[in-house]
Amino acid sequence: MALFRPRLTDHYGILVPQADLDFAIPFLDEDIPLYADPFLLWRSPSQQDQALHTSLLNAFNHLGYLCASGQDAQAVTTLIAASECDEVGLGSSANRQGKRIGEAKAREILDLFKRIPQYNRAGFRHFEEIQFFVDGISKDRISDFTCSFLKSFLIDFTLQQCEQLRIPTSPADIPRLYNSRKNLFEEARGIQLPLNPRSRNPLIFVPKRWLRFVPWISYDDYFEKYCPQDEISHKPEELTRVAVLNYNRDHYGVIETYVKTKERTFEDCHNDPLFAQIPITSAKRKFSAIKNLPTGKDDGADKQYEDLIGQLLPSLLYPQLDFAQEQARTDSGVTIRDLIFYNTASTPFLKDIFDTYGSRQITMEMKNVAAIERQHVDQLNRYLADELGRFGLFITRHPLNRAEFTRTIDLWSGQRKAIVTITDTDIAQMVELFESKQRNPIDVVIKKYGEFRAKCP
Amino acid sequence: MVNSVRNAPESALKTEEEVRDLEKLVVQLQGLHTEISILAKKTPNDGLNLFKLKLVNSILTKGNSILVGHYKPLESFTNFDESALPTNSDVTMVLALYIEQAERFRSNNMIYHDFKWWYLVKGAASQIEGRPPTMIGTERK
């Protein structure tokens, strides 16, 4: 059985939690749902990031120089080449493949250097401003432009991280690597990079400090809070994106004011974490909702229970366990929902689970039943296979009755599989620990495992 | 009036150093109990953090070396297992039992003489004065 939502580090057995790494760990089959925001480089206190931002702007503004000197074709080629950066895998693509912009769109962007006098004269200070003038350009494209023009630095960063973590690298060809001396994209061959073990395509890491869900300077933010909507149209149906973009082209001052405001409030601009824990009040509210739920399936109680636990546990167990995904499987015609976590082996307990039970991922089966029955134990037992490891948890309402508890002990005796049960009482204690911060909520799992092992022969 | 140590001769105080250790233990147990009781009243089921737990365990270890024989507070308990996630109320209860036994031990090792209470060392009155015993035998006075 394969890993769920595999990441590069899991594939190579490198057990480090995402929270401890400087880069966003790439998934093998899908994109990381974050975007590189050039404003984070601009606002960074680090000289290196600021210099990279300058270099990024130089690369972009050079396109304006090319247009002004009659080399439009070269500018279009460069811009199209920069419009996608598959190696970094940021965005929302499900298959790590994106599409480049077309020639018409590239010309529309380059036309800004002629159309808007400020850009013609002084170039861009924040190239993400192109969102305000050209339709179809948004956060994913800004992120791709950023990564493409800075790819050379990102390759060095990736190599450094690979050396630190001992991630294997292989020679790979990069079809478009920006040469900032010649100001054009060239093919680079035989560059040492980690490869996606499935597709054999090279991977490039991006520092976490550059990533946000939405760029700081964004069209939606501008439209909602700063755009003079009444000036553009008094009729809501005519207030279209295209109308706003056209207005912006003729009123650069509005954009300039917006960007200045965003620059002034730069201290509020922070990178977004890949995973954010829910607040304590929310955790307590979710637990009280769980307590008030009846067992069984009436009124969708089972679904609600699974949803609430699915929102609660990833936060309670962070950062010791990275949440992978919630998944549904069918066993003997019954739909079972599990929470799957990456085992980072970051604590002695998790290391022990990894070594003893071979758990690269930890599965938690949610059961909103009055009592766990024989078939439930059998279902989880069948599921605890080699790849997933032989350690699993029931997240349920009440402790196991004697017969089923004995069955779990027998499973340990016969097959060295450990099934630990986490009940409402344990969840209550985890929420309490989550609030008080006196111990880690995962210590409750350790306690329950200790109690389970104490009963084993 | 003399509080005899004949009840528990194996656990009598032998040196003045042991008297000082006992006095220190009583104060430490009471201090911990007071502090952790405050936590236990607020959140009885919350886990005690590892720093506090290590402190509690070190004082319980000292208590185990002083309170032996009849004065051992709990037969099947030595100290807290960190992985068992003891709660505030668990720790408060155990500390209360240790305080009771420490006071019983102290009370049974005192002698009243010349209108003052003195510690007994090797069965005879020492020069260390103590506060009046509150628990003679098993009864609280």
Shortest CA distance from A428: residue in chain B: B45
**Which pLDDT score is estimated for B139?**
59
Q: Read off the pLDDT of residues B93-124 as tens digits, 9 standing for 90 and up.
A: 999 999 999 999 999 999 998 899 999 998 88
B43 contacts A436? CB cut-off 8 A: yes
Using only C-alpha atoms, chain B has a radius of gyration, in whole angstroms, of 16
Best residue of A436, A448, A449 to probe chain B, by most B CBs closer than 10 Å: A436
As a whole-number percent, the residues of chain B with pLDDT over 90 amount to 63
In angstroms, the CA A266 to CA A186 distance is: 35
Best residue of A422, A434, A439 to probe chain B, by most B CBs closer than 10 Å: A439
A-B C-beta contacts closer than 8 Å: 37
**Which pLDDT score is estimated for B1?**
42
Task: Look at residues A355, A378, A354 and name the one whose alpha carbon lies nearest to residue A365.
Answer: A378
**Which pLDDT score is estimated for B11?**
61
- Residue B76, classified by CB atoms within 10 Å of its CB into exposed (0-12), middle (13-18) or buried (19+), is exposed
Q: Read off the pLDDT of residues B12-21 as tens digits, 9 standing for 90 and up.
A: 888 999 999 9
pTM of the model: 0.76
**Which pLDDT score is estimated for B138?**
61
Residues A126, A42: contact at Cβ < 8 Å? Answer: yes
Task: Look at residues A295, A286, A290 and name the one whose alpha carbon lies nearest to residue A376.
Answer: A295
CA dihedral A280, A286, A291, A292 (to 10 degrees): 130
Q: What is the ipTM of this complex?
A: 0.72
Name the A residues in 410-429 with CB < 8 Å from any B CB.
428-429
Shortest CA distance from B87: residue in chain A: A429
Long-range contacts of A372-379, Cβ-Cβ distance < 8 Å, separation of 24 or more: A372/A396, A372/A400, A372/A401, A372/A404, A372/A421, A373/A404, A374/A403, A374/A404, A374/A407, A375/A332, A376/A404, A377/A404, A377/A407, A377/A408, A377/A411, A377/A419, A379/A331, A379/A332, A379/A334, A379/A336
Query: For each of chain A's 457 residues, which pLDDT tens digit applies?
Result: 467 788 888 888 888 888 889 999 998 888 888 999 999 999 999 999 999 999 999 999 999 999 999 999 999 999 999 999 888 988 876 666 678 899 999 999 999 999 899 998 889 999 999 999 999 888 889 999 999 999 999 999 999 999 999 999 999 999 999 998 999 999 999 999 999 988 889 999 999 999 999 999 999 999 988 888 878 877 777 788 888 898 998 899 999 999 999 999 999 999 888 888 889 999 999 999 999 999 988 888 888 999 999 999 999 998 889 888 887 777 777 777 889 999 888 899 999 999 999 888 899 999 999 999 998 998 888 888 766 789 999 999 999 999 999 999 999 998 899 999 999 999 999 999 999 988 999 999 999 999 999 998 8
Using the predicted structure, report yes or no on whether residue B9 has a pLDDT greater than 80: no
Quick check: helix, strand or coil at residue A119? helix
Dihedral pair phi/psi, residue A368, rounded to 5°: -95, 65
Shortest CA distance from B42: residue in chain A: A436
Q: Does B45 touch chain A (CB under 8 A)?
A: yes
B85 contacts A429? CB cut-off 8 A: yes
Average pLDDT of chain B? 87
Best residue of A350, A429, A432, A438 to probe chain B, by most B CBs closer than 10 Å: A438
B81 contacts A439? CB cut-off 8 A: no
Give the closest-approach CA distance of A45 to chain B in angstroms. 36
**Which pLDDT score is estimated for B8?**
42
Q: Does A350 touch chain B (CB under 8 A)?
A: no
Give the closest-approach CA distance of B138 to chain A in angstroms. 35
A438 contacts B47? CB cut-off 8 A: yes
Pairing relationship of beta strands A35-36 and A211-212 according to DSSP bridges: antiparallel
Residues of chain A with C-beta less than 8 angstroms from the C-beta of B48: 438-439
Q: Does B43 touch chain A (CB under 8 A)?
A: yes
In angstroms, the CA A386 to CA A360 distance is: 9
A444 contacts B43? CB cut-off 8 A: no
Cα B42 → chain centroid: 25
Residues of chain A with C-beta less than 8 angstroms from the C-beta of B81: 450
Quick check: helix, strand or coil at residue B104? helix
Query: Tokens in use for A69?
Result: 């000197």
In angstroms, the CA A428 to CA A286 distance is: 11
Residues of chain A with C-beta less than 8 angstroms from the C-beta of B46: 429, 432-433, 436, 438
Out of A433, A436, A447, name the one closest to residue B84 (CB): A447
Quick check: helix, strand or coil at residue B116? strand
Task: Look at residues A422, A353, A421, A365 and name the one whose alpha carbon lies nearest to residue A391.
Answer: A353
Cα A36 → chain centroid: 12
DSSP state for residue A91 in the 8-state scheme: S
Position A289, amino acid: A
**Which pLDDT score is estimated for A160?**
95
Using the predicted structure, report yes or no on whether residue B6 has a pLDDT greater than 50: no
Tokens 């001396």: give the residue: A181
